Structures are given as C-alpha cells and as structure tokens.
C-alpha cells in the first residue's frame, strides 16, 4: 500500500474541522458575523481543502505529534519548508506554488488575525521561480475544432436509429465541442447552463447567457450563436436532449447517458477525449481558452483586442457592470463570427436534416 498523501476528511483533527466550519459561516441579516471564507465559491473551497488535505497528510506521515496542537500553530516556516521539499520531489514547481498559495489561503481562513505575510511572500517567490509548462504543442486552432465538431454532429445524424443512445451522445459531444471552440468558457460555466434560464430565443436566433454566479469573474456574459450553428443547437434541443433525458425531469442543458445533468468533470473528460481522438492532443478546457487567445493573436492580429473581453479578463478599473457585460458580449460574438468565417473557408458543410 502506498503512502497516504492526502489526509481524508474523517481523519482530520477536530480543531481543523471546527476552524473551517467557522470560516464558512454565512452572514446574518442582523449583524456582520460571516466567516472570512463565507464568500468563496464551492470550487475555490475544494481547491483550498485539497491543498490542506495534502498538508495534513504530510504532517501525519512525518510529524504526527503536530496534529495534536492548534491548527495555526503547525504552520511554521520550518514545517512549510519541509512540506515544500517533500512535494517538490513529486510535482512540478508550478504545482508547488499553487499548493502553497492554497495553504496560505487556508491559514488566513483558520486564523485571520495572524500575520501570514511571510507565507504570502513565500508563495510569490515560488511562483516567480516556477516555469509554467509549455502547452503550445497541445493547442488546436479553434476553426479546426469547430470543423471536427460539426463533422461529429453530421455523422451522428446519419447513424441508424438502432444506435440511438450512441447517436445522441455523439451529437451532444459534438455540440459541446463546437460551443467551446466558439466560446471558450470555463467548465463550471458550461456545466451550469439550463434550458429555461440560460437560453434566449428571438427572431435573430439563439443567445446563451451566463449570470454572475456562473462565472469566476462574477460578471454576467452573453454569446449569440453564429447562424451556422443555430440549426445544430435546435436539433439537439428538439431531438437529442429529450431522448437522453428520458423520464428524468431536469432543466440541465447537457444530459448524461443516464439522463442526469452532465457534471463539469464529465464535460472536461469529453473535451479531452474528443481532441485526443481527432488530433492526438488531449486538450484541457483551459487549453481552449489559451488556444482562442493564441491563434487569434497569430492569425488575426488585428483582432487581438478581443482577447481580454473574450476570456473575461476585463480591467478591474472599469467598474460599471453593464459596460463590462457589453465588452465581453461583443468580444465573444466577434470571436465566434471570426472562427465561423475561417471554418467556412475550409469547405462546404452539410446542415442537420430537417425534422
């Protein structure tokens, strides 16, 4: 049996459980009693918890007596140095920097009144020294992704009805790939989409909407589907999705094999599988974002100004939320139109069969 790297939650000392419970206490309408981490989204909490489980696993294996003292008292320069040396033998420098960043976040949640500037400065030094992994070789131009996605959907329509489940899953996966090629949003955002709340239909076509709670930047965003993708989206909503959902009653846009809403982890896996099969390059969802920025800068440099809005990396000095929404919406639409135009130059494309 291998060594325990991450200490399971049920083995945590009570002091740690209590500390995190206090950190996440929501605010009360009558007074300001919220914990220092009450505002954090579930994804951020999971990242902090994962790093802290690794920290406790290190202590359990190497300094078990430390688990008997107060949580904040264990986080010393000597112990953190040992922790860094320990995980540096197993993971990349960038991962070490991320782990210390999340440990620092945990320390501030556990003991917000303590001075953790030394730990924050340590993370900054680790981050400055780390050399990010070059993933350029894994990137595929968005217009090639879109072309592959539409090929998958066209082929799914031609599959026999006896392979209905496989046919609908292939069509769904192709549509997800097409959407990510045009609008490279984060996994939590695409997984949060519902039919009734996130889709808007009008005479001009279909617009997809994200709300502040759906995005990491806490800013709403909207994206209008290019005309060439509208028939594919309508086919999914009318034919593929109902067959996948079956007797289950839910509003999630993406349905799983068992009819449940598709999780963010499953969408991540779909993207990696499809890109690995088609191009030999298993792209993570963040690679779609990097690819959008990289290839727009390379192949359409006159539109490089779209990148901050497309990725919602808008200037923090711009305070007006409506202006931010307008900028990101315009950037997303223009990026989608650019990718669609380039893909159209690759050759003709069949439309979904009419119902």
158 and 272 share a domain?
A: yes
pLDDT at 204 (0 to 100): 86
- Do 105 and 209 have their domain in common? no
- The verdict on 22 and 79 lying in the same domain is yes
Which of 114, 129, 144 is the last residue before a domain boundary?
Answer: 129
Q: What is the mean pLDDT of residues 272-301?
A: 78
> How confident is the model over 235-249, as a mean pLDDT?
93
Angle at which helices 117-129 and 77-88 pack, to 10 degrees?
A: 20
Under a CB-based contact definition with an 8 Å cutoff, are residues 169 and 153 in contact? no
Whether 1 is covered by a domain: the verdict is no
pLDDT value for 161: 74
Residue 351 within any structural domain of the chain: no
pLDDT band, residue 341 (cuts 50/70/90) = low
- Is the same domain home to 140 and 228? yes
Backbone dihedral region of 292: left (phi > 0), alpha (psi from -120 to 50 degrees) or beta? Answer: alpha
Query: Is residue 223 situated within a structural domain?
Result: yes
Domain range holding 110? 9-129
Residue 56: which pLDDT band, with cuts at 50, 70 and 90?
Answer: very high
Integer CA distances (angstroms), 84 to 210, 223, 253, 319, in order: 39, 43, 42, 39
Instruction: Indicate whether 121 and 174 sit together in one domain.
Output: no
Mean pLDDT of 38-55: 91
pLDDT of residue 219: 85
Q: Work out the number of other CB atoms within 10 angstroms of the CB of residue 331.
A: 22
Residue 52 in any domain: the answer is yes
102 and 151 together in one domain: no
Tell me: do 209 and 337 sit in the same domain. Answer: yes
Is 216 in the same domain as 119?
A: no
Q: Based on the fold, state whether residues 24 and 69 are members of the same structural domain.
A: yes
Same domain, 64 and 206: no
Confidence (pLDDT) at 300: 44
Number of domains in the chain: 2
Mean pLDDT is lowest, of 59-68, 216-225, 307-316, for: 307-316
Rg of the chain over Cα atoms, rounded to whole angstroms, equals: 23
Q: What is the C-alpha to C-alpha distance for residues 22 and 45, in angstroms, rounded to an integer? A: 13
In a domain, 260, yes or no: yes
Local confidence band at 304 (pLDDT 50, 70, 90 cut-offs):
very low
Q: What pTM value is reported for the model?
A: 0.66
Whether residue 186 is found in the same domain as residue 287: yes
CB atoms near residue 221 (< 10 Å): 25
At which of 129, 149, 183 does a domain end? 129
Query: What CATH number is associated with residue 62?
Result: 1.10.150
Residues 116, 211, single domain; the answer is: no
- Between 75 and 306, name the one with better pLDDT: 75
* pLDDT band with cut points at 50, 70 and 90 for residue 309: very low
């Amino acid at each position: 049996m291998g060594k325990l790297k991450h200490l399971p939650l049920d083995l945590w000392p009570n002091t740690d459980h209590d500390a995190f419970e206090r950190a996440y206490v929501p605010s009360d309408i009558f007074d300001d009693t919220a914990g220092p981490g009450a505002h954090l989204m579930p994804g951020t909490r999971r990242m902090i918890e994962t790093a802290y489980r690794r920290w406790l696993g290190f202590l359990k294996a190497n300094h078990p007596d430390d688990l008997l003292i107060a949580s904040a008292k264990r986080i010393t320069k000597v112990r953190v140095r040992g922790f860094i040396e320990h995980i540096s033998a197993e993971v990349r420098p960038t991962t070490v920097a991320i782990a210390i960043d999340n440990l620092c976040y945990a320390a501030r949640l556990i003991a917000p009144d303590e001075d953790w500037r030394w730990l924050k400065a340590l993370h900054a030094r680790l981050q400055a020294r780390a050399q990010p992994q070059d993933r350029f070789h894994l990137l595929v131009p968005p217009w090639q992704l879109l072309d592959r996605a539409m090929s998958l959907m066209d082929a799914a329509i031609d599959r026999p009805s006896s392979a209905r489940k496989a046919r609908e899953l292939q069509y769904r996966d192709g549509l997800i790939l097409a959407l990510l090629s045009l609008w490279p949003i984060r996994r939590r955002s695409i997984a949060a989409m519902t039919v009734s709340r996130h889709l808007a239909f009008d005479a001009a076509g279909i617009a997809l909407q994200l709300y502040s709670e759906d995005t990491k930047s806490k800013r709403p965003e909207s994206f209008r589907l290019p005309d060439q993708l509208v028939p594919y989206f309508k086919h999914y909503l009318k034919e593929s999705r109902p067959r996948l959902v079956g007797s289950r009653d839910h509003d999630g846009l993406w349905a799983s094999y068992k009819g449940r809403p598709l999780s963010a982890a499953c969408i991540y896996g779909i993207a990696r599988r499809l890109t690995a099969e088609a191009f030999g390059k298993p792209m993570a969802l963040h690679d779609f974002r990097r690819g959008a920025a990289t290839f727009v800068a390379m192949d359409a440099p006159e539109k490089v100004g779209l990148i901050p809005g497309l990725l919602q990396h808008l200037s923090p000095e711009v305070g007006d939320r409506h202006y931010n929404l307008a900028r990101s919406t315009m950037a997303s639409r223009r990026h989608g139109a650019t990718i669609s135009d380039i893909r159209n130059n690759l050759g003709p494309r069949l439309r979904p069969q009419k119902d």
